[in-house]
Amino acid sequence: TVFNASGAEYTRKEVPLQVVPSSSLLKLDSPLTSFIDMQTMLFEEEKTAYNQA
Mean per-residue pLDDT, 27-46:
80
Contact at 8 Å (CB) between 40 and 33? no
Q: Burial, 34: exposed, middle or buried (Cβ in 10 Å; 0-12, 13-18, 19+)? A: middle
Is 1 among the domain residues?
A: no
Is 11 among the domain residues?
A: no
- pLDDT of residue 31 exceeding 90, the answer is no
Structural domain count of the chain:
1
Is 5 among the domain residues?
A: no
Is 8 among the domain residues?
A: no
Structural domain range at position 45: 19-53
pTM (2 d.p.): 0.44
Hey, what long-range contacts does 19-24 have (CB within 8 A, 24 or more apart)?
none
How far does the chain reach from its first CA to its final CA, in angstroms? 15
Is 34 among the domain residues?
A: yes
For 14-24, the pLDDT digits (tens) are 878 777 666 65
Give the model's confidence band at 7: pLDDT under 50 very low, under 70 low, under 90 confident, else very high. Answer: low
